[in-house]
Amino acid sequence: MKSVIFIAPPAGGKGTMSEYLVENYGYVHLSTGDLLRKKAQKDEQIATILKSGSLVPDEMMLKIIEEAIAQLDSTKPFILDGLPRTLQQAEVLDIILNGLKKNNYVVVYIDVDKNLLENRILGRCTCPKCHKTYNCKIEEFKPEVDGVCDDCGEKLITRSDDNKESFQIRYQQYQTSTYPLIEYYQKAGRLKVIENNSVDQTSTLKDLVGVLSD
């Protein structure tokens, strides 16, 4: 199985796909957020940057990624989550992966209809007690009683940033940053596209496995 870098819009399904690959195919999930938080426990400079809310410089972030990939079992495919976000990061990442002889990877672009993404985000609600997630705009994922958790009866809550204005901003930012990456990886012959527009993701996951197995 090939390693994978996902390019996906907000609520595109990247988390579900990553979890599926980890549980069923032994992938190692490398999340830039998790790696940074772990590094911050021993590195005061990174801890200070994270506390301030500032972005970690590319050079520092890419070095952390390089160290993490270098420590992986050579037989284990990996998922790189959270990077690259810019064309410059993609170019440096290529150099890193070539140097580590980790070239057996593809970049999967998850194509999702914008209206479906909006419904996924605006309808998302979570139980604060058991953390079960629902969607009040998609019939298959609604709770049995509106606004109440099926499992523990707690009142469901929504994130403050799950609103239409925030979605439009995030989606526009995603499009602006994504197009150069898509073009870059397409020219490199690494880009694969899969659709994730169905509530039942069985076919999407099957397509994903097919792409990673080729």
Q: What letter does residue 57 receive in the DSSP assignment? A: P
Amino acid at position 144, single letter: E
For residue 182, the model assigns a pLDDT of 93
* 129-133, long-range: CB < 8 A, 24+ apart: 129/154, 130/154
Q: Residue 42 — very low, low, confident or very high, per pLDDT cuts 50/70/90? A: confident
57-93 per-position pLDDT tens digit = 888 889 999 999 999 988 889 999 888 988 999 999 9
CATH of 3-112+176-213, one of 3.40.50.920, 3.40.50.10330, 3.30.930.10, 3.40.50.300: 3.40.50.300
For residue 20, the model assigns a pLDDT of 93
Backbone angle region of 94, left / alpha / beta, with phi > 0 → left and psi within -120 to 50 → alpha: alpha
Q: Record the pTM.
A: 0.81
For residue 214, the model assigns a pLDDT of 80
Residue 55 has pLDDT above 80, yes or no: no
How far, in Å, CA of 60 to CA of 107, rounded?
23
121-133 per-position pLDDT tens digit = 888 889 988 988 8
For residue 201, the model assigns a pLDDT of 80
Residue 105's contacts (CB-CB under 8 Å, 6 or more residues apart) are: 2, 3, 4, 5, 97, 190
156-207 per-position pLDDT tens digit = 988 777 788 888 888 888 888 888 999 999 999 999 999 998 877 888 999 9
> Domain limits of the chain?
3-112+176-213
